[in-house]
Structure 1
């Protein structure tokens, strides 16, 4: 067990961690290897039961210790500044993950200065790990605002100084999503760390987002809103004027069935001019559903189910609603062609999902956007927990009334009706479904008392308290939520619209005699 946990550790690693300069110097002078040994034991693994993560190499251990003399001593002894561990992380990657951020920034400066003397084609802060992240991008993903700001300032170029006034060129490489599918903007939106939102206030990220949104993003997004409104309006008209006919004389129905019109067959549905007009709308609805699926499914594969459906900033529930809507529209087409007379149920769900998804476009407005997030959180988290508890309580009622005649108390005839009735009961829409002329098992009375106490008093009031707390939290984060929604919306529109409709922001560095990169100028 010991060898498995501490595999690869050498006395030099230990001396470096303890910052024992004399011992480090003694080991190196005695021929201690500073480049080859790698501490690969489980104790040093990241997110695999390890307790510390200092990389694997002696230089990484020295960098995490932060002692400049030891770092210089190890580099002078032959340690490479570009060594990578099993995750592909360089020394700079490891420093980004350290808790002492100010010390990490100072060490980054020292190591980058040593690396610059090698005249490598790719700078050390542009080296990718196995996940395709540079130290700069890793700082954005982890929400390390101190290191991120430090690296941004190291890349900026001073144009001129006039007393207290200065002009800077900020490098947009890795920040702008124009030519980078894993840009800083994308990583901030997908990050699980709340601290990542604060990066949206850092220059030039804040200015880039403002330019993208005000010049293009909000206009394209609102155009999409208008197109979706026209599309869902056409689908609604197709549902309102769906092909129906009066019931024939030989139509058999029970006494409680009050149906007077039924669905037409496929051959009867497209005869008149009005039918052909409706057919045009149905074709538009079907094509729109296929386009939605064609757009959404590749995004799921690219981002992953957890981030695509789970993250609030990416509008997860609205993607679920949209995919369900599109799938049901395709199912409607199959039912119509195959003469399956079940359109009513599917069409009702389509209308609910289609119009509910229209709330997604409220994200394009600063006043409404945070409230949409509040609704998402209440429905998915607070109300979801409440309904889950209601489900288990209702199972008890179904067991009680399982032996009774279903016609004796109709609200408790089936489990679905019982759940619906109990939901109405707790909402005070109906009174207790109780008939004193019919024998009721005593346990039913006990269950009603327990249900009233738990659901009607405890759970309902707890739900109100939780919803109030959710609203307060969203109100506190209103500005951050609006900015993160703005970035997510910009990225969504950029991915879905052709590149020719977007302009790359900034100025090319060749204009100033610099490398072929794009910069934003600030005074």
Structure 2
């Protein structure tokens, strides 16, 4: 992409400088430059100098003449809001004018600190291209290798960071549609020493992303695979079978709270979720699960199940006593005991133990969830399906209900059954969270979650409005009738309940058929059944069916992300002395670094093996041991054949 300017806007009748520069009128330009009547630093409508104008129009002769007469313009930037900071060197690079680039460099043009920071060059509504502000970044994003080589030879900094913290390598990652980014990346890395390459790859931008992490955050799969393959080392190879090691720097969450795994699990973008199936991310997640996460997950699941059972048992045996005869009528036969009466027998103290376990567990859940909420923010806490979706919020509600029940018990209130019953519902429903540890159940958990908080909530809002309207209609119609004959419509709350039961098909309209009923009631009833019962209920079924087939295709991918999120959650909450680092230290593989690697066995097609073999690097291959093992295999095979004979 090239930035273009309409230079007709810069030509004003009284500014002969710009007219001469635009028309390539060398004689007029020389005369004007020699004249004392003109301001040599005059600027156009876009705050450009005459040197900018000459370079935009490709007038090399005029540009060189201007530089001879006014050398100070060589690094003079444009000052308009749109093109602020753009120097003549930026323009020469954008025009890919190699001759002018060399001419400016020979004259001492600044390629180290010059930055184009106008709204045209930074992300925003007015941005035409984001090339990273620095001259070298402009050249790399355009893809001119000769200019890049020349600029680096003139000490253009590779580690220079723009206002967003992005280096030239970050900018290459962001050029998704460009075909030259891989060759340009290779070129830049080839122009620095091997010791400098890791430091360039590890520079983070303002968001804490290295080029590798940025490729994941942007969903740039091809760039991610390219960067990972660059870091891959082949440990040994036999035919088409090879054992490769992948660098876990920036990928593993160990001592890195903004790793590739974190980005994948915290993102809501399906393109980012697909990285969970790439090498070496897939292998790393599997190794984490096998090495430590599986046992702690099952311990967590079993302990929560036992905890909710204890709470249920304590709730079933809550302290009640018979009602004094005739005090609360014939329907209520038991009431809540006072606090003193609740703890007297051995059974009461056994129940007290279960209640204490319930309260302590609820406090632990509340504190841990609030700490997690403050860490990731309310938006990510509620909206991110992979990190838990509604389940963390349900846990907070559960804890608050338990605390409310405790307060009511201490105050000897009779209504403690209300928060306790809701806590039981939430506590048992939250066990569905552990379904994500199993592939089949995990996918159904996602379907329930998506449908419940998607289609059902939207449909419920629409139905609620309709039910309220028809409830008022029924209530007004029955106000003039004898409500003793119509007990299901005796007040608004009872009418609302009746209307809901009619919608669900739980009963027919409750009318006394031995007495006349106004025809208006039947008209409203028919309209209600047609609109709400037939139309809206079938609409819900159709929506849920459509959602099922739409979600099932991505449910497995989302389950894998949730599976990884569980592992990371356990890694954060399990004490440090119980955690095991995944991978292999580089020292044990014979690599001269302190990095960690993960080994992956790969089987390549024979054609790929033939083409890639000459360029492969091998590390610490024990050929004597390989030959010895091959000999054993051959001997075993021969002995097995002789035995069959």
TM-score normalised by L of structure 2 = 0.74
Structure 1 residue 234 corresponds to structure 2 residue 307: no
Counterpart for residue 81 of structure 1? 158
Aligned 8 A contact 1:397 1:418 in 2: no
Note the C-alpha offset of 1:300. Answer: 1.1
Determine which structure has more spread, i.e. the larger CA radius of gyration.
Answer: 2
Note the C-alpha offset of 1:101. Answer: 6.0
Structural mapping, 1:157-236, within 5 Å: 157-236=233-312
- 1:236-274 Cα offsets, whole Å, 9 max, x none, are 011111111111247355xxx721111111111111111
Structural mapping, 1:415-494, within 5 Å: 420-432=497-509, 448=525, 450-494=527-571
- Structure 2 residue runs without a partner (length 5+): 1-44, 47-79, 602-645
In 1, Cα distance between the equivalents of 2:577 and 2:538? 54
- Local SS of the residue matching 2:235: strand
The structure 2 residue matched to 1:373, chosen from 442, 446, 469, is: 446
In 2, Cα distance between the equivalents of 1:95 and 1:182? 21
In 1, Cα distance between the equivalents of 2:518 and 2:411? 47
Structure 1 residues 414 and 380: CA distance shift in structure 2, 3 A: farther
The structure 2 residue matched to 1:147, chosen from 219, 223, 241, is: 223
In 1, Cα distance between the equivalents of 2:300 and 2:489? 46
Counterpart for residue 359 of structure 2? 286
Note the C-alpha offset of 1:420. Answer: 4.3
TM-score normalised by L of structure 1 = 0.90
Counterpart for residue 359 of structure 1? 432
Structure 1 residue 35 corresponds to structure 2 residue 108: no
Counterpart for residue 93 of structure 2? 16
- Local SS of the residue matching 2:120: helix
- 1:32-82 Cα offsets, whole Å, 9 max, x none, are 433323222233333566453222222222222122122223323332111
Structure 1 residues 345 and 25: CA distance shift in structure 2, 3 A: same
The structure 1 residue matched to 2:581, chosen from 488, 504, 508, is: 504
Give the CA RMSD over aligned residues.
2.8
- Structure 1 residue runs without a partner (length 5+): none
In 2, Cα distance between the equivalents of 1:377 and 1:51? 38
Higher mean displacement: 294-303 or 397-406: 397-406
The structure 1 residue matched to 2:413, chosen from 319, 340, 359, is: 340
In 1, Cα distance between the equivalents of 2:328 and 2:131? 78
In 1, Cα distance between the equivalents of 2:490 and 2:199? 72
In 2, Cα distance between the equivalents of 1:364 and 1:236? 24
Structure 1 residues 279 and 11: CA distance shift in structure 2, 3 A: same
- Local SS of the residue matching 2:439: coil
Counterpart for residue 596 of structure 2? 518
The structure 2 residue matched to 1:112, chosen from 174, 183, 189, is: 189
Structure 1 residues 195 and 244: CA distance shift in structure 2, 3 A: same
In 1, Cα distance between the equivalents of 2:238 and 2:348? 74
Structure 1 residue 244 corresponds to structure 2 residue 317: no
Structure 1 residues 50 and 300: CA distance shift in structure 2, 3 A: farther
Higher mean displacement: 273-282 or 177-186: 177-186
Aligned 8 A contact 1:16 1:70 in 2: yes
- 1:91-123 Cα offsets, whole Å, 9 max, x none, are 222222222265323222222333437x55961
- Local SS of the residue matching 1:245: strand
- Local SS of the residue matching 2:340: coil
Structure 1 residues 386 and 51: CA distance shift in structure 2, 3 A: farther
Structural mapping, 1:268-417, within 5 Å: 268-400=341-473, 405=479, 408=483, 411=488
Aligned 8 A contact 1:93 1:135 in 2: yes
- State how many pairs are aligned: 518
Counterpart for residue 84 of structure 2? 7
In 2, Cα distance between the equivalents of 1:268 and 1:48? 70
